[in-house]
């Protein structure tokens, strides 16, 4: 089975408990030198055996591509080698999403994320992007601060709640600036796409083969816009529309989660939507607690619900049980468990990685909401009407970025008419996190793309049990051939 399934805002992660691979003296010497961008682009990876059957290496990339000096990120890379070396085709770089998801951990689960035939013919390679997990991670808040930050009310129904949101946003921005220092403006997806080009070269590949899910589709799109000549076989699953505004991102995603919640209640018999609405109201004034007296705030309750909605097979039954227990016993421990898995918090109150922090750092460098606070507030009724459950909690999403002390790292907009070899885009009709309309938009942005539609619930379509989807992904990686036109699939 897949090791320790966790969830992020945009994509489920399959994270293993890993140790940082050691660095040989020769590699240490490499890190101590000053290199030009051309020399960095020609570096070779020094692979070492790790975790018994994998290979690990470290890739050196500049912090600032505009001023390559003595400051570098050291990106951790993991490779699951092709199991049939005689028939090896090349490498596939994988990214599970996020932002802030660990590609290193994702590749560690290569046996489970792609088919046996793909594992036989390809090296599966994953890396932790700059600032993520094992790659010079940035952690803005302590565990206790993280608890307070994530539990704080995510909506602003009153002036006091609005003031609390603003205070928390400012606190987070100041904390990150203090920790990151001069690196604060250099955790963007544009820069990670440039890092991926250095990785392609270091792998010795003329073309980059890539499997990106959710946020990973945005990373793949930026790479394709920067390096179309090096695009190999690209599969973008759970597509993100790179041209949609922050306001509309939040609004469409809120609607997606509400629609998934409606589907959930159609299938479960143990709880009702009215009971969830009542729990959310009670959480405002008389919140329940878990086994250790930890309070289930409205923000943690809605996080628990979101966490489960990604996965109809396992998440939905767990959500039904958690809500039923909360309703019948006023014990919210199962809800806290779901929320903690979403945030990567262990039973001892420790956060096992830095994804909560780095995801916001990356987001603030990629996008910035152009609305004023007054305009955001005026949108409250629109969000609440469009998505009564999730809308109020996503109205102010991205507020931290209003107080970010560095500028957005620009990328060409709109991203359209991207000229690449044929690629595959996968969209799920009832995806709560990356709505199907985003897949349609990304399909239009890549004239050479073929759209595979998964008719169903849950997040992303590949490796979800649909032979219709999976066989076409495999055939594409193995032969480069895409279907003659759009394909509609079911589980």
Give the residue carrying structure tokens 């890092």.
Answer: 195
Q: Which residues pair with 58 in a beta bridge?
A: 76
Tell which CATH architecture fits domain 35-137+185-242+411-491: 3-Layer(aba) Sandwich (3.40)
In angstroms, the CA 403 to CA 192 distance is 23
Outline where 227-378 has alpha helix (H): 246-267, 273-285, 298-309, 315-329, 333-343, 355-366, 373-378
Q: Which residues contact 141 (CB under 8 A, 6 or more apart)?
A: 149, 172, 175, 357
pTM: 0.92
For the beta carbon of residue 183, count every other beta carbon within 10 angstroms: 18
Region(s) of the chain under CATH 3.40.50.1820: 35-137+185-242+411-491
Phi, psi of 208, rounded to the nearest 5 degrees: -95, 120
Per-residue pLDDT 10s for the chain (491 aa) are 222 222 333 333 222 222 222 332 333 333 345 668 888 988 999 999 999 999 999 999 999 999 998 899 999 999 999 999 999 999 999 999 999 999 999 999 999 999 999 999 999 999 999 999 999 999 999 999 999 999 987 787 788 888 888 999 999 999 999 999 999 999 999 999 999 999 999 999 999 999 999 999 999 999 999 999 999 999 999 999 999 999 999 999 999 999 999 999 999 989 999 999 999 999 999 999 999 999 999 999 999 999 999 999 999 999 999 999 999 999 999 999 999 999 999 999 999 999 999 999 999 999 999 999 999 999 999 999 999 999 999 999 989 999 999 999 988 889 999 999 999 999 999 999 999 999 999 999 999 999 999 999 999 999 999 999 999 999 999 999 999 999 999 87
Give the closest residue to 112 by CA, choosing from 351, 462, 408. 462
In angstroms, the CA 457 to CA 246 distance is 24
Q: Which residues are catalytic?
A: 214, 431, 459
């Amino acid at each position: 089975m897949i090791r320790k399934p966790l969830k992020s805002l945009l994509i489920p992660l399959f994270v293993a408990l890993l140790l940082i691979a050691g660095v040989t003296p020769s590699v240490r010497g490499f890190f101590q030198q000053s290199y030009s961008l051309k020399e960095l682009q020609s570096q070779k990876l020094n692979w070492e055996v790790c975790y018994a059957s994998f290979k690990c290496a470290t890739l050196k990339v500049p912090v600032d591509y505009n001023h390559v000096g003595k400051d570098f990120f050291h990106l951790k890379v993991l490779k699951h080698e092709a199991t049939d070396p005689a028939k090896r085709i090349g490498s596939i770089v994988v990214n599970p999403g996020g932002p802030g998801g660990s590609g290193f951990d994702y590749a560690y689960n290569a046996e489970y994320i792609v088919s046996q035939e793909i594992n036989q013919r390809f090296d599966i390679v994953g890396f932790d992007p700059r600032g993520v997990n094992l790659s010079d991670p940035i952690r803005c808040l302590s565990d206790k601060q993280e608890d307070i930050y994530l539990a704080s009310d995510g909506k602003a129904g009153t002036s006091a709640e609005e003031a609390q949101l603003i205070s928390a946003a400012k606190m987070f921005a100041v904390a990150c600036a203090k920790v990151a220092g001069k690196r604060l403006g250099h955790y963007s997806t544009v820069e990670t796409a440039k890092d991926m080009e250095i990785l392609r070269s270091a792998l010795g590949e003329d073309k980059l083969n890539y499997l990106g899910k959710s946020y990973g589709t945005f990373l793949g799109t930026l790479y394709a816009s920067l390096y179309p000549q090096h695009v190999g076989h690209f599969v973008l699953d759970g597509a993100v529309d790179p041209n949609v505004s922050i306001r509309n991102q939040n609004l469409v995603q809120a609607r997606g989660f509400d629609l998934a919640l409606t589907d959930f209640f159609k299938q479960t018999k143990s709880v009702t939507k009215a009971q969830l609405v009542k729990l959310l109201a009670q959480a405002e004034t008389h919140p329940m607690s878990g086994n250790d007296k930890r309070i289930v705030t409205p923000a943690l309750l809605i996080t628990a619900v979101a966490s489960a909605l990604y996965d109809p097979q396992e998440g939905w039954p767990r959500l039904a049980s958690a809500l039923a227990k909360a309703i019948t016993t006023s014990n919210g421990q199962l809800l806290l468990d779901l929320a903690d898995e979403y945030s990567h918090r262990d039973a001892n109150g420790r956060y096992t990685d830095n994804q909560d922090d780095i995801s916001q750092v990356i987001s603030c460098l990629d996008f910035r909401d152009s609305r004023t606070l007054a305009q955001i507030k005026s949108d409250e009724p629109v969000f609440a009407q469009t998505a009564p459950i999730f809308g109020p909690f996503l109205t102010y999403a991205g507020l931290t970025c209003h107080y970010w002390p560095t500028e957005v790292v620009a990328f060409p907009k709109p991203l359209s008419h991207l000229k690449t070899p044929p690629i595959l885009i996968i969209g799920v009709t009832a995806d709560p996190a990356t709505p199907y309309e985003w897949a349609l938009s990304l399909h239009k942005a890549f004239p050479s793309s073929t759209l595979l539609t998964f008719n169903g619930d849950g997040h992303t379509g590949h490796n979800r049990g649909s032979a219709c989807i999976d066989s076409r992904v495999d055939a594409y990686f193995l032969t480069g051939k895409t279907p003659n036109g759009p394909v509609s699939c079911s589980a």
